[in-house]
Structure 1
Amino acid sequence: MYSIAQVQTYIVKAWQTIKQLNRRSLLSFTGLFLVGVSLSVAIAACDSTSAAKPDLKLKLVSYSVTKAAHDRIIPKFVEQWQKEHNQNVTFETSYGGSGSQAAAVISGSQEADIVNLALALDINKIAQAGLIEPGWEREAPKSGVVTRSVAAIVTRPGNPKGIKTWADLAKDGVKLIAANPETSGIGMWEFLGMWGSVTQTGGEESQALEFTTKVYKNASVLTKDAREATERFFKQAQGDVLVNYENEVILAERDGQKLPYTIPEVNISIDNPITVVDKNVDKHGTREVAEAFVDFLYSAEAQREFAFLGYRPVNPSVVAEVTKNYPQVKTLFTVQDFGGWDAIQKRFFNKGATFDKIQTQVANKV
């Protein structure tokens, strides 16, 4: 293939030759010459557009339990992008508690191009810090929610403590493995699941406070994220009961760590969002490929990978394929039943709010 500079040199030399020809030869040669120039320019242009582009790196920051899914999906996207754009894309990934990950992105210690976190509240915090444009949830299908799950209650073989419902978590003598809502997405989700199991079935706020306080008294340690909770319960055999994402329990089963679990009939819809971090993708020049990756996660191909690992998909065609694989939930409530994330943060998780008060009572063994 010729470069534009080579074509220009060729034109100059050819024109010098043309000047030396007679008129008839000139007309004939000129026609051929123009055809040749056109072809050469086209070839050079094609060469320019088809040339391999510089390698590009994306930074994906996500919550702890998504690693297995991303490990399966990222190579598929990389292969597709290479085929369609002739560009090699590599991923730098980071996994941890959703709240901690959001804080790291805000501080700049994690310059994420994409965030896939456990709850929209954490992405909202990044947006409030000026890194994500307002209205991010309208930039992708399903209000930015890429996967869903529900809460699962996991017990020991034979379920010796007879734990089947949310209410059973408050029994005397039960040792609960729970995550910290201040650092972990599952920590917030399980808190809301416990609270809503009372208020969404006709109970009073005071009853919900009494119940959740009893439950947290049964949790001697609050883990930093869902993955630590899983490892303590499954690998280190700590505790009588674990509350975790349904998909995390299914993944543990696939890894040979099978324990009995139930999906409470009264449950919360755990909606996991994704978006690009606008300030960072513009700084890194990665917006096009970052947005393409987000879009790819909604594709049937990626959603089937999520479903294989126990997530509840959001792509309608995949939902239809796998609905039968999941237990049906009788009463499924959402964050909107609590007034939305801003109301939840203020009421339950701000400094001095409900969770802090519960922790104080637990510490004082009131």
Structure 2
Amino acid sequence: MALAACSGGNSSNSGTETPSASPVAANKSNVEVTLVSFAVTKAAHEAIIPKFVEKWKQEHNQTVTFKQSYGGSGSQTRAVIDGLEADVVHLALAGDTQKIQKAGLIEPGWEKEVPNNGIVSKSVAAIVTREGNPKSIKTWTDLAKDGVKLITADPKTSGVAKWNFLALWNSAIKTGGDDAKATEFVSKVYNNVPLLTKDAREATDAFFKQGQGDALINYENEIVLAKQKGEKVNYIVPDVNISIDNPIAVVDKNVDKHGTREVAEAFVKYLYTPEAQQEFAKLGFRPVDETVAQTKEVKDKFPNVKTLGTVQDYGGWSEIDKKFFAEGGVFDKIQAQKKR
């Protein structure tokens, strides 16, 4: 079983290699754009990029090539801050984009420069079970039962693991619980986690390749893509869920250095078009474009979620990180009290 995950860096190039673009890139016949993204978007971008390249060539008579890098959102964020000269970043959570902004590479207000507050792809959380679902796991609450082993990554090191934690917390809050009840519930679930893996790829491997655990939390889009590739995956999309929102941004300092601002901004805007959103939907992401979201094909593909929480419900990523994931936060307290 080889579900891709939000980890494991790799790079690939689309089209012919070109030298690094200079500030006069707009006047050249060729221009190179560096896209840095989190791993699970690779298939979607590889379908979308050729369409954009063709459109740009027709409209501007200029050949665009893309240097692409895919890996865990946290590690990709660090790489950009440490000198990977991305023109465009598409990351798993806005908190990562904000870190690049704080490093002085992205100007404040990036989320207002494009539609939907910068969110270009969406998913929800799904629970993957063993074939036949022998532990009868149907909802989030079942993950807290005695004798159920859950595989998930460590939110201290993994972006997807932060979403997993929020999905669990949100399920308690949205069904009438307060912070105390949510803490109690999430503590029970994490008592059922035998080992926190470093990232989502390790969690996926532990579940499928090593046979550990009764359940795994993963992105819905991962599972849809795995099924399209012929994998047999048993899963549930709980009807109380969290909206997993993935932002896109132009890296201002780098596009100005490379002279690629015009084409980078055009590519980002193109990702919001129905044509590009259809490609995201085909590969398992819930589209942000309403015209695409309302099509019969998309409605049939994605189960309806009755109660969908958002990051904004919990004060945004700055507040979430401070409350849950900072040193001494809720997650640390849960781990400290965990049964040994």
Both structures adopt the same fold (TM-score exceeding 0.5): yes
C-alpha displacement of 1:125: 1.3
Q: Is the CA contact 2:29–2:61 (under 8 Å) kept in the aligned structure 1?
A: no
Name the residue aligned to 1:229. 203
Between Structure 1 and Structure 2, whose CA radius of gyration is higher? 1
**1:220-254 Cα distance to aligned partner (Å, 9 max, x none):** 33334434433443444432111111111101111
Counterpart residue identity of residue 245, structure 1: Y
2:48 to 73, 95, 117: 73
Name the residue aligned to 2:308. 332
Q: Is the CA contact 2:158–2:200 (under 8 Å) kept in the aligned structure 1?
A: yes
Structure 1 unmatched runs, 5+: 1-50
1:88 to 52, 63, 87: 63
Name the residue aligned to 1:130. 104
1:256 to 218, 227, 230: 230
Distance across 2 between alignment mates of 1:224 and 1:62: 19
Further displaced range: 305-314 or 318-327: 318-327
1:341 to 317, 322, 339: 317
C-alpha displacement of 1:355: 1.5
Residue 219 (1) aligns with residue 193 (2): yes
**1:62-94 Cα distance to aligned partner (Å, 9 max, x none):** 112111111111122122222222222222222
3-state SS in 2 of match to 1:152:
strand
3-state SS in 2 of match to 1:271:
strand
Name the residue aligned to 1:300. 274
2:125 to 126, 151, 156: 151
**1:196-229 Cα distance to aligned partner (Å, 9 max, x none):** 1112211121222122222223223333443443
C-alpha displacement of 1:323: 2.5
3-state SS in 2 of match to 1:72:
helix
Name the residue aligned to 2:8. none
Name the residue aligned to 2:244. 270
Name the residue aligned to 2:156. 182
Distance across 1 between alignment mates of 2:71 and 2:153: 12
**1:308-342 Cα distance to aligned partner (Å, 9 max, x none):** 01111011221121223211112111112112222
Name the residue aligned to 1:210. 184
Structure 1's 72 and 225: CA in aligned 2 closer, same or farther, altered over 3 A?
farther
Q: Is the CA contact 1:99–1:182 (under 8 Å) kept in the aligned structure 2?
A: no
Name the residue aligned to 1:359. 335
Distance across 2 between alignment mates of 1:98 and 1:361: 29
Residue 280 (1) aligns with residue 284 (2): no
Name the residue aligned to 1:99. 74
3-state SS in 1 of match to 2:67:
strand
> TM-score, normalized by length of structure 2?
0.87
1:243 to 212, 217, 228: 217
Q: Is the CA contact 1:52–1:86 (under 8 Å) kept in the aligned structure 2?
A: no
Matching of residues 45-60 of structure 1 within 5 Å: 53-60=28-35
Distance across 1 between alignment mates of 2:308 and 2:269: 27
Structure 1's 138 and 66: CA in aligned 2 closer, same or farther, altered over 3 A?
same
| Runs of 4+ more than 4 Å apart | none
C-alpha displacement of 1:180: 2.2
Further displaced range: 214-223 or 54-63: 214-223
Structure 2 unmatched runs, 5+: 1-25
CA RMSD between the two structures: 1.9
Greater helix fraction, Structure 1 or Structure 2: 1
Counterpart residue identity of residue 334, structure 1: T
Name the residue aligned to 2:14. none
Distance across 2 between alignment mates of 1:227 and 1:193: 19
Matching of residues 158-173 of structure 1 within 5 Å: 158-173=132-147
C-alpha displacement of 1:343: 1.2
Structure 1's 235 and 251: CA in aligned 2 closer, same or farther, altered over 3 A?
farther
C-alpha displacement of 1:155: 0.4
Q: Is the CA contact 1:53–1:86 (under 8 Å) kept in the aligned structure 2?
A: no
Relative contact order, CA 8 A, sep 6+: which one is greater?
2
Distance across 2 between alignment mates of 1:133 and 1:112: 14
Residue 198 (1) aligns with residue 147 (2): no
Aligned residues: 313
- Percent identity of equivalent pairs: 65
C-alpha displacement of 1:190: 1.0
Distance across 2 between alignment mates of 1:76 and 1:228: 33
Structure 1's 264 and 133: CA in aligned 2 closer, same or farther, altered over 3 A?
same
Distance across 1 between alignment mates of 2:130 and 2:232: 10
Structure 1's 131 and 199: CA in aligned 2 closer, same or farther, altered over 3 A?
same
